[in-house]
Amino acid sequence: MVPEWQDAYMDYDYLKTLLKEIQRFKHRTKPQSAQTGLKRKMTLNRAFSGLTRRNYSHISSPHVSDVESQVIMVNSGSEGGRSETMFLRSSDEGGEYEVVYFKRLDDEFDKVVKFYKSKVEEVMKEAAVLDKQMDAFIAFRVKVENPDQVRRYFDYNAEMRSLATGVAASAAELSASTPSGARASRKVHMVAIDEEGSSTQGRLDDSSDENVEETKKSIQMTKIVETPRSSIKDLLNIPHPEEIQFNRKNLKKVEEQLKRAFIEFYQKLRLLKNFSFLNVLAFSKIMKKYDKITSRNASKSYMKMVENSYLDNSDGVTKLMDRVEATFIKHFSNSNRGKGMNILRPKVKIERHRITFSLGFMFGCTVALILTVFLITRARHLQNHPKRKQYMETMLPLYSFFGYLALHMFMYAANIYFWRRYRVNYAFIFGFKEGTELGYQEVFLLTFCVTVLATAAGLANLDMEMDPQTLDYKDITELVPLGLLMLLLGVLLCPLNIIYRSNRFFLLTCLFHCLCAPLYKVTLPDFFLGDQLTSQVQALRSLQFYICYYGRGDYKQRQNTCTDLATYKTFLFIVAALPYLGRLLQCLRRLYDERDIMQGLNGLKYFSTIVAVSMRTASTLSGTSRTTSWNILAWIASIIAAIASTYWDLVIDWGLLQKNSKNRWLRDKLLVPHKSVYFTAMVLNVLLRFVWMQMVMKVEIPSLNRQTVMAIVALLEIIRRGIWNFFRLENEHLNNVGKYRAFKSVPLPFNYDEDDSKDE
C-alpha cells in the first residue's frame, strides 16, 4: 500500500468484521449436524477457489448463471454512477447481515473506483504536459546539435517526436470519454504511433525550419530560484534574460530536468497500477471469504462486475507505462533498454548481513570501552585527583561534543525505527533519492562507530600526569580530540562514493541552505535540520572551545584560559543565537514566499528564544548573584520563550490539544494505538522545555561540576528533540495522507505562453 493513499484502499478489515458477524450468527442458529455438513461443503467450494480472477469471465454455463442470479444481482451503474448489489435471499434467516455486508462492499468499491479515476485523469493531464515538453526539448536539441542543418535532420527528428507524443497518445485514447480528457487531446495535437514508432498520420511538411523557429518562439525557459544570486535578483526585481540561450549547457540542464520528471511520472504510473491490482485482489479475497462462510457462490458474479469496471478493465495506465518506457529509453539512455529500465524502476534496498554483524560488534566494543573507562577511573582514584576540576573544565567540553553528536544520531535511529513501524513515509517526506535512505540499523552502526572512536580517544586523555620539569602534557596525547574531529569532518566531506555518500551530500546541502537561509526557498528538510541545530547549542559552543583551546596553545598545559577572553564571551552570545537566527530567517523567507501569517508568528517565537538565550548567557557570565537585573530579565524572557515554544510544539507541530477531536485533547487520527504515549510525550516536552530554567536559577550540585551539569542539560534537550521529531513527522505524514500527496513535484524546464481559447 501507498501510505499516503491508505484511506482510498478497500477497507478489508472492516468488511472482514462484517463477515465475522455473519459467521457468529450462523454458529448460534445452526445445529451441530448442520455445521458438520457445512464444513464438507466449504471444503468442496474451497477446492475451486484456486481459479484466478481472469477465468471468471469464461464461465458461461446457463445453469451456473441461474444459480448465481439467485444469490446476488450486480448492477455496475452507468458512467460515473454507483454500483448496486441486490442480495436476493434477504428473507433467509440472518439475511439482514448479508444485506448490510453487500451495501458496505458497494460503498468500498465506489470509493476505490472514484479515487482511481481521479488519479488516472491527473496522470493523463501530466502526460499531455510532458508531451509538449518533449516537443520543445527535441526542437531545442536539434537547434543546439545541428544549428545549420535543421532541415536535413528534421525527418529524423519527426520520428523521435512521434515517440515523445506517443506518451500522451494513450492518454487521449483512454480519457477521450471525459470532457477534460477530450479537451486535452485536442489541445496538444498528438500523433498516434504504432509499435515500431512510425507515425500513422504522416510526416511534417517541408517547412521544418519554420516549425523549429515557431517552437522556439512559443516556449521559454522556466525560471527556477536555485542559487543565492538568482534569489537576490528575484527579490530586487532584476529582470531575467528572456531570450533562450541555445547552448549545450542549457541542453544538459533541460535534459536532466526532463529525466527527473519522467522518472517521477513513471513511479506514479507504477503505484497506480499496483493500486488497481491490490484492490482487485482484495475484492476477490473478501468474496471468497464470503462464499466460504455462507456456503454460497456469489464471488464469480461480483468479480465479473469488478473485472468489467474501470478499476480492472482500463488498460490506459499500462499502455502509458509502455509509452513512457519507450520514450525514456529512446531519448535519455541512447536506446539502451537495460540502462533505461534500471533508472526508471525503483531501487530495491538490499538488507545486508554485514550491517547487522558490524552493528553488534561495534555495540559490544562500546560497552567494553565504557566499562574500561569506569574501571580505570576507579582503579586510579581519578575522581579524587587534585587536578580533577581542571580536567573537567578542559577535557569535558572537548569530548562532550562527540557525546551530543552520538546521542542525536541514536535518537534519529530510534525515530526511523518507529517511523517504519507505524508506516510514516519519512523517505518521501524528507525527499531522499529512492533506495538511498538510511535504515535504523545503518544509523545505529554509525552512532556506535562514533561512540567507540570517542571513548577510545578519551582513554588516551585519562592520564593526568605531566612532565615535572616543564609541566607540559604530551602533545600527541592532547591532540587526539582534534584529530578525531578532523577525521569526522573528513569523512563528512569525502567526495568518494563510500560511507553513504548520497546521504552525506544531502546533509551538507541542507546545512548549506540553513546557513544561507534567506537565499533559498525553504523546504521541509531545511527547516527540520534547522530545528535540530537549535538543540545543539552546546555542541556549537564546544566547537568554539576547540578553536580557542588549540589556537591559543592551551592544550600543552591542559588549562582553560579562553573563558577570560572578552572575544570568547562575545562569541558565546553569537554561537548560541546563530541556530535560532537561522530559523528566524527561514520563517521570514517562507512568509515572503507563501504569504502565510503563521510563519511570521513562528518567526516571533524564535526571536523570543534568541532574546531568552542571550539573557541566560548574560546571567551566567554576570556572576552567581541572584538579585542582578540580568537574572530578572533572563527569568522573564525564558518563561515567555518556553511557553510560546511549548504551545507551538504541541498545537502546531504535533497537531495535538484539540478538545473537539474524536480523541479528546489529541487529534482525530493517531498512528500510535496507545493514547497514553501522546500524553506522556506532552508532559515530557513541557518538563524538558523548562529544564533550561536551572541555568537561570543557578542550582549548584556539590557532587557535579558546572560543566557536567550543563552537559546533562544539553543531553536532555537532545532527548526532547528526538521525541519531538517523531510526532512532528507523524503530523506531517497525516497531512500528506489527508491530501493524498504521495509524490514530489518536479519542475519542468519549459513554460508555454499560450491562450487556451485559440485551441478551442
Looking at residue 381, its pLDDT comes to 81
Distance between CA atoms of residues 742 and 759, nearest Å? 32
* Distance, CA of 686 to chain centre: 27
> Within a domain: residue 63?
no
Overall average pLDDT of the 374-379 stretch: 89
* Interval 676-693: pLDDT, tens: 999 999 999 999 988 877
Amino acid type, 529: L
Look at residues 160, 162, 177 and name the one whose alpha carbon lies nearest to residue 316.
Answer: 177
According to DSSP, residue 244 is labeled: -
C-alpha distances in angstroms, 17 versus 11, 12, 20, 288?
10, 9, 5, 15
Strands (DSSP E) along 45-83, which ranges? 72-75
> Within a domain: residue 348?
no
Rounded to 5 degrees, what are φ and ψ at 654?
A: -95, -20
Distance between CA atoms of residues 397 and 544, nearest Å? 10
Looking at residue 215, its pLDDT comes to 54
* Interval 424-480: pLDDT, tens: 999 999 999 878 899 999 999 999 999 999 999 998 888 766 666 666 777 788 899
Give how many domains the chain has, as a whole number. Answer: 1
Q: 675-689 and 629-647 helices cross at what angle (nearest 10)?
A: 160
When mean pLDDT is compared across 39-53, 266-280, 294-308, the lowest value belongs to 39-53
C-alpha distances in angstroms, 232 versus 225, 235, 239, 397, 519?
9, 5, 11, 39, 7
List the grid coordinates of 262. 519522467
Cβ–Cβ under 8 Å, residues 398 and 404: no
When mean pLDDT is compared across 308-312, 330-334, 463-467, the lowest value belongs to 463-467
- 179's enclosing H/E stretch is helix 179-188
Is the confidence at residue 156, as pLDDT, over 50?
no
Distance between CA atoms of residues 52 and 31, nearest Å? 34
Looking at residue 81, its pLDDT comes to 59
Distance between CA atoms of residues 747 and 133, nearest Å? 11
| HEC string for 387-455 | CHHHHHHHHHHHHHHHHHHHHHHHHHHHHHHHHHHCCCCHHHHHCCCCCCCCCHHHHHHHHHHHHHHHH
| HEC string for 580-646 | HHHHHHHHHHHHHHHCCHHHHHHHHHHHHHHHHHHHHHHHHHCCCCCCCHHHHHHHHHHHHHHHHHH
* Radius of gyration of the chain measured on its C-alpha atoms: 33
Count of Cβ atoms closer than 10 Å to residue 231 Cβ: 17
284: Cβ contacts below 8 Å, ≥ 6 apart? 53, 299, 303, 306
Looking at residue 335, its pLDDT comes to 87
Confidence of residue 68 (pLDDT cuts 50, 70, 90): very low
Distance between CA atoms of residues 405 and 577, nearest Å? 19
Q: 537-551 and 480-493 helices cross at what angle (nearest 10)?
A: 120
List the grid coordinates of 366. 562500546
Overall average pLDDT of the 407-433 stretch: 94
Overall average pLDDT of the 552-556 stretch: 87
Residue with cell 534496498: 349
Most trustworthy range by pLDDT among 70-84, 181-195, 340-354 = 340-354
> Within a domain: residue 371?
yes
| Predicted model pTM | 0.81
C-alpha distances in angstroms, 663 versus 355, 407, 659, 670, 673?
40, 33, 8, 9, 11
Confidence of residue 219 (pLDDT cuts 50, 70, 90): low
Q: Determine whether 637 is exposed, middle or buried from the number of CB atoms within 10 Å of its CB (0-12, 13-18, 19+).
A: buried
Amino acid type, 373: V
> Within a domain: residue 748?
no
Distance between CA atoms of residues 379 and 382, nearest Å? 8
Cβ–Cβ under 8 Å, residues 161 and 168: no
When mean pLDDT is compared across 211-220, 324-333, 684-693, the lowest value belongs to 211-220
Cβ–Cβ under 8 Å, residues 678 and 672: yes
C-alpha distances in angstroms, 138 versus 13, 263, 333, 519, 731?
50, 18, 15, 33, 43
Looking at residue 37, its pLDDT comes to 44
Domain of residue 502, residue span: 353-738
Q: How many residues does the chain have?
A: 760
Cβ–Cβ under 8 Å, residues 268 and 240: no
Overall average pLDDT of the 108-120 stretch: 92
List the grid coordinates of 395. 577535557
Looking at residue 526, its pLDDT comes to 95
> Within a domain: residue 544?
yes
Beta bridge partners of residue 74, listed in sequence order: 85
Cβ–Cβ under 8 Å, residues 104 and 14: yes
Distance between CA atoms of residues 442 and 500, nearest Å? 9
Confidence of residue 294 (pLDDT cuts 50, 70, 90): confident
Amino acid type, 64: V
What torsion do the CA atoms of 247, 248, 250, 252 make, to the nearest 10 degrees?
Answer: 160
Looking at residue 445, its pLDDT comes to 97
> Within a domain: residue 260?
no
Cβ–Cβ under 8 Å, residues 72 and 102: yes
Distance between CA atoms of residues 555 and 562, nearest Å? 11
List the grid coordinates of 406. 552520538
Look at residues 283, 274, 279 and name the one whose alpha carbon lies nearest to residue 302.
Answer: 283
Count of Cβ atoms closer than 10 Å to residue 62 Cβ: 7
Distance between CA atoms of residues 603 and 590, nearest Å? 10
End-to-end CA separation in angstroms for the chain = 40
Is the confidence at residue 194, as pLDDT, over 90?
no
Distance between CA atoms of residues 652 and 645, nearest Å? 10
Q: Average pLDDT of the chain?
A: 80
Distance between CA atoms of residues 644 and 629, nearest Å? 23
Looking at residue 465, its pLDDT comes to 66
> Within a domain: residue 433?
yes
List the grid coordinates of 410. 541514536
Distance between CA atoms of residues 400 and 458, nearest Å? 10
Cβ–Cβ under 8 Å, residues 523 and 489: no
Cβ–Cβ under 8 Å, residues 406 and 488: no
Strands (DSSP E) along 23-143, which ranges? 72-75, 84-87
Distance between CA atoms of residues 136 and 621, nearest Å? 64
Distance between CA atoms of residues 255 and 507, nearest Å? 26
